[in-house]
Each structure stands twice: as structure tokens, then as C-alpha cells.
Structure 1
Amino acid sequence: MKIISSDDVLARLKQHYTYTERRGDPFRVLISTILSQRTKDENTAKASRALFQKFGTVEKLAYADIKEIEPLIRPAGFYHVKAHWIKEVAQQILNHFHGEVPCDVKELLSLKGVGRKTANCVLVYGFGIPAIPVDVHVHRIANRLGLVSTKTPEETEIELMNLFCRKDWIPINHLLVTFGRDICKPHTPLCGQCFLADICITGQNASQ
């Protein structure tokens, strides 16, 4: 059985998927990532567009009425809870960070509804700061490939940070998530079509 190499995995992912570093407004990245929790990307996009059309700044969202926020973000699901979260986040940013989204992990984690995945998304997609956002999909794929053997996304993040050079951290989330949607699906991975099958633990076992 071949031993998987993180450098080989990254090289192959880059051959198959294009990654162009993109940087959005940190506030919008933050709020959209909170809205994305436990919902599909298309629902997040719809809710985010409606929300930012009406409350596009920290100040506007901080002073918005919850009853006005809820219908705008309803497509994202759990809109009662998320409406309170994002309003409180806007208030925290306004009151404690002079209206600017912090670019420090510890400060981001102090915000309502923000965990490590969301904080790292803000660093990567809002500030262009190297980090590895790990959600359940990245966690699953990294373990399935055999890159890591971990029980939680937090453990996976640490292991991936040790495996990959810091200069390569930024595209990892995008590449693995795209790979997961395309081939390494949650319940029915397409091992027979996978360009990593020959070095993947799961793929090699499936071919035996």
C-alpha cells in the first residue's frame, strides 16, 4: 500500500481544480459564514444577498430590528437564532473593535456564534491571512484520504497545519471542499473516478 504524501495530494488537487485567491469584505465574510452553519451554500447566498441589500454595514446591522432581520435570512434556516447572533456580532464589533472586524483568531472567537472554522474563514477569505478552515467535510475527507487520523475538526486543523507548509494553507479548504463535492462525496465516494485513489487509504482498500 502506498503511503499518502501531503505534497502529492496538494499537487494533484491543484492540477484538477483552479484556485484563485479571492478576498471579500471581512464583515460580509463573517456574517455569511455564520449564516452558512447547517445549511446549503445556495441558501446562504440567498440569505446573504437579501441581508446585505438592506443592512450592508456593521452599523446598520447593529441597530437593525430583529423582526426585520429574520425574514431576510429565513432561507438559511434557524433564522430566529442566527438573527440574534449576527445582530450581537455587529454590536460587539461596533462596541469593542471600533467597527472593524478583528483579524486575530482569539478576538474573532470572542464573537457570538463564531467557532474556529468561522474564524479561519474570515482570516482566509476576508484578510488573506494563512489559516485552514476545517468543517465536517474537510474533516471527513482528510481522514478518509489518510492524511490524518483524528476525531474532531479541531484536531484535524492542527494536524493539517503541521502537514502543510504555511504558504499552502490558504487554498486547502477550497480545494478539499471542491474535491468533496465532486468526487469524495459523504455517503457514496466515487473512488473509481478519483485521481487520488492510488494513494488514498480508502481508495486502495476499495480496489482490493
Structure 2
Amino acid sequence: MNCLQLTLYPSLTLTLLDENYVKKFGVKKGTRAWEDLYISGRWYSPWRYINEADGPLRDVVHRLAEKYGDCVGISISPGDEDLIFAAAFLTQNTNYHTNVLRWTRQLFTATEDVGEMAEIAPTVARSYQLQRLPAAIRDYLASGRPRDRRELLRIRGVGPKVADLYLLFTGDTTSAPVDKHYMRIAPRLGLAGAPPSPTHCRRYTCGECPIAHKCLRGLSQTKLGRLAGWVQTLAYLADKGALPAV
């Protein structure tokens, strides 16, 4: 993969592009991904935040930045938060590149209005993700399209990973979605922790949480700051075999 492909492969903005990486859904249709500051991921540089890495992790992150800092960014698409929410919700316990891309392309072709999407989602396929999407969308709209993590976690069916995916790919790079890929790779980087507890996440911020010191999400935010989402992105790519071992 080239740098653009590496940046887009993990990103939820991939759901908004056609096979040639041209914007098909949402705002700025027809935009070519490589020409857009945000979709290309060029808006983000880990070098700006290198000093936010804590202690021994700074050397690890510096090594990663030397290898990938000028190549792998974080792709976002400002103005498409509603579509990104739907995509994030559908990622639960399924293959992103096989199922989620197919489902979202069917949904977004039918409508880009999430209110209407709530009505048609169950007709796209019988998967539980699509069957549960309407309730999640209704909660999302009723709560004012939240950007706060704990408010997102009050939405039916939204757990820590979905909330953090949404936050990361709408520009909050302190958010590191803890999935099986990150759980496997993070210990090699010096970040060993448990998956986040939904109960604790709904009650506390990471800064307040009594188990943040042993939670991979809490440790990532505390020890990496605005590098957390980028490091998680590299871990995902490495575990998928798209990058050499990090």
C-alpha cells in the first residue's frame, strides 16, 4: 500500500469514497482524497505532539514517527459526522472491509439523511448491527449529535470502541479505539492494559476513572495524549499485515 492507502485503510472516511478514492457520499462530493488536507490525513502530524508521549514511550513513538510520521495520517471528513456515526456503529463484531463498506454504500446510496437511514437500515440486511442502528440513530439525534464520550456511551448499543472510533475519525486523536488488533500490538509498544470497562466509561472520564491505570484506553490517553489515535492506527495496520511489525 502507498501512504494514502495506508491512511485510508483503517479510517471510517473510506465509507465515503469510491474505489478510486474520490468522494462519493457526504459533503464535497467529487473531491479526490489525495488533494484534500483532511481526507488525505495530512492535517495530522505526530511530530507536533511527540512531547506528549510519556517517559519511555517517547522513544517508541519517536521511532514510529521516523518510520511512518510522514506517511500515515488520520483521515477525517469534517461535515460528515452523521455518516461517520452510522459507520462507526456498524463496525461491531464484523469485518469492516467486507461488511461495513458494503452496508454503508447501500445505505448512503439510498439516503444521506440519518433520520431516513434509521427507517431503511433493517431492510439492507438481517445483521444485528443494521437491526439495532435505528435505535442508535434516534438516540444520537435526540441527544443533539453528541461529541462527548460519556454522552455517546448513553446511546443504545454504543460501547467504548464505537464511541472512540467515532471520536477519532471526527478529529479527536486522544481517542484510541481498543479492538483486538490494538490489544495484540500495544504490549509490544510498552502499553499493556485491559479493555475498557463500559460501566466505568459511562460513569467517569479517563482522568477520573479509578481503573484508568490498568485500562488500555486510559493508559493510551494518559501516556500518549494526542498521539493515542495515531499509535492505535499503526497497531491496526501492523496487525492486519499492512505494515511491518511495529
More helix by share: 1
Q: State the 1:41 CA deviation.
A: 2.0
Partners of 1:26 and 1:127 within 8 A in 2: no
Give aligned-pair identity as a percent.
21
Does residue 40 of the first structure (1) align with residue 83 of the second (2)? no
The equivalent residue for 1:96 is 143
**Aligned partner of residue 170 in structure 2, secondary structure:** helix
Q: State the 1:129 CA deviation.
A: 5.2
Q: State the 1:157 CA deviation.
A: 0.8
| Amino acid across the alignment from 2:159 | G
Gap runs ≥5 in structure 1: 185-192, 197-208
Residue of 211, 219, 222 corresponding to 1:162: 222
Call closer, same or farther: CA 1:20–1:152 in 2, change over 3 Å. closer
Length-normalised TM-score, structure 2 = 0.61
Query: Pairwise CA RMSD of aligned residues?
Result: 2.5
Distance 2:196 2:140 in 1: 26
The equivalent residue for 1:200 is none
Q: How does 1:148-187 map to 2 (within 5 A)?
A: 148-154=191-197, 155-164=215-224, 166-182=225-241
Distance 1:127 1:137 in 2: 21
Partners of 1:135 and 1:153 within 8 A in 2: no
The equivalent residue for 1:23 is 76
The higher radius of gyration belongs to 1
Call closer, same or farther: CA 1:93–1:6 in 2, change over 3 Å. same
Does residue 147 of the first structure (1) align with residue 199 of the second (2)? no
Length-normalised TM-score, structure 1 = 0.71
Distance 2:93 2:140 in 1: 24
Q: State the 1:115 CA deviation.
A: 0.8
Tell me how many residue pairs correspond in the alignment: 170
Which string of whole-angstrom CA distances, capped at 9 and with x for unpartnered residues, describes residues 10-33 of structure 1?
233334442223213222222112
Which string of whole-angstrom CA distances, capped at 9 and with x for unpartnered residues, describes residues 52-97 of structure 1?
11132222123x1xxx42342x3xxx61x22232101121123332
Distance 1:93 1:151 in 2: 28
Residue of 35, 49, 61 corresponding to 2:105: 49
Residue of 133, 137, 143 corresponding to 1:86: 133
| Amino acid across the alignment from 2:237 | T
Q: State the 1:7 CA deviation.
A: 2.1
| Amino acid across the alignment from 1:104 | D
Q: State the 1:109 CA deviation.
A: 0.3
**Aligned partner of residue 130 in structure 2, secondary structure:** helix
Q: Which has the higher contact order (CA 8 A, sep 6+)?
A: 1
Q: State the 1:153 CA deviation.
A: 4.4
Gap runs ≥5 in structure 2: 1-54, 198-214
Residue of 112, 132, 137 corresponding to 2:181: 137
